[in-house]
């Protein structure tokens, strides 16, 4: 047998060249995203880092850039999240449990399933309009934190439902059978077997949906979060603003220094988002190691 006939060698070389070409294309694609992100981050850091100080964190918004701060927006975001987070978690996980553990495979449950998948893809501005119609006008909540938080809950529910469903589906059937065979009912099986095993996935989904909610702007503008506000919210029916809206407002102002203020706001928002994602990853790894 001839191991290195000229034709074979030529063919092997051609295949290798092809491999190298694709290797290069994939590398460039990866590089493109990473570089774009790095440039963006760098620019924001240069612009905003020196503006990110204690004064910025503790001041109200002002007409003068050097006196402007993000306090109101940060407090607004915290208020909104403290309503959205528990609501989303309870409704989202309950829905996922119902669909995965209780619902029979009927046309009705399939309809719900398809709708949840579709809702995850609906543009956020549409949720804003829904919130405006239902919560602001119909329920008469006005341009309040509660209206904003409820709208945001609807927006991120599909994310947490889908993530929790996948986590629950990932629990092997054999574990449920073991539990049922010992005389456990469905609820006992869910609480003692299914949820502990799917907890890391559910947690990851929850935190990711929360970071989505923190960063959303459009629906809250529609619902009526105010761009400039000179006092802290007092209760759930107070008017409010949130960080992305404040950043958006600053970025639109004519004075050059406000771009830097906006940069400082973006850095703060990114820090919050990245730490939430880090917590999600940390918790997932921590609980996965247990099994």
Q: What span, in angstroms and rounded, lies between the C-alpha atoms of 81 and 90?
A: 14
Tell me how many degrees the CA angle 207-209-211 measures, rounded to the nearest 5.
70
Residue number with CB closer to other proteins (44 or 194): 194
Q: Are 125 and 218 contacting, i.e. CB atoms less than 8 angstroms apart? A: yes
Distance (Å, rounded) from C-alpha 259 to C-alpha 253?
8
Distance of closest approach, residue 205 Cβ to other proteins, in angstroms? 19
Looking at the Cβ atoms of 256 and 291, the one nearer to other proteins is 291
Question: In which residue are the tokens 């609480």 written?
Answer: 191
Q: How far is the CB of 288 from other proteins (least distance, A)?
A: 10
Q: Which is nearer to other proteins, 184 or 253 (CB)?
A: 184
For the bound state, the minimum distance from the C-beta of residue 71 to other proteins, rounded and expressed in Å, comes to 45
Shortest Cβ distance from residue 289 to other proteins (Å)?
Answer: 10
Distances (CA, A) of 171 to 145, 168, 183, 199: 37, 6, 19, 10
Q: Which residue ranges make up the site for other proteins (CB under 8 A)?
A: 104-105, 172, 174-175, 177-185, 188, 192-193, 196-197, 290-291
Question: Minimum CB separation from other proteins for residue 193, in Å?
Answer: 6
Q: Which is nearer to other proteins, 121 or 183 (CB)?
A: 183
Nearest CB to other proteins, comparing residues 123 and 172 = 172
Residue 88's nearest CA partner among 22, 34, 163 is 163
Neighbours of 97 (CB within 10 A): 22
């Amino acid at each position: 047998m001839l191991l290195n006939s000229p034709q074979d060698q030529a063919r092997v070389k051609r295949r290798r060249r092809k491999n190298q070409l694709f290797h290069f294309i994939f590398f460039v694609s990866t590089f493109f995203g990473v570089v774009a992100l790095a440039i963006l981050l760098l620019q924001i850091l240069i612009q905003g880092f020196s503006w990110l100080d204690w004064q910025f964190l503790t001041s109200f918004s002002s007409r003068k850039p050097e006196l402007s701060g993000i306090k109101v927006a940060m407090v607004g975001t915290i208020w909104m999240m403290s309503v959205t987070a528990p609501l989303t978690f309870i409704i989202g996980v309950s829905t996922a449990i119902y669909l995965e553990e209780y619902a029979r495979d009927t046309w009705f449950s399939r309809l719900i399933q398809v709708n949840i998948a579709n809702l995850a893809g609906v543009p956020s501005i549409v949720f804003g309009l829904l919130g405006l119609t239902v919560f602001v006008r119909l329920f008469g909540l006005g341009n309040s934190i509660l209206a904003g938080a409820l709208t945001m809950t609807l927006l991120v529910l599909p994310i947490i439902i889908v993530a929790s469903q996948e986590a629950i589906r990932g629990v092997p059937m054999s574990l449920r059978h073991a539990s049922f065979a010992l005389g456990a009912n469905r609820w006992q099986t869910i609480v003692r077997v299914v949820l502990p095993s799917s907890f890391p996935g559910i947690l990851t989904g929850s935190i990711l949906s929360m970071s989505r909610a923190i960063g959303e702007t459009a629906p809250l503008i529609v619902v009526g979060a105010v761009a400039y506000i000179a006092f802290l919210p007092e209760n759930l029916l107070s008017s409010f603003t949130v960080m992305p809206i404040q950043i958006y407002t600053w970025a639109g102002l004519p004075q050059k220094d406000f771009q830097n203020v906006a940069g400082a706001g973006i850095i703060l928002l990114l820090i919050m988002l990245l730490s939430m994602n880090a917590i999600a990853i940390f918790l997932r790894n921590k609980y996965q190691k247990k099994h």
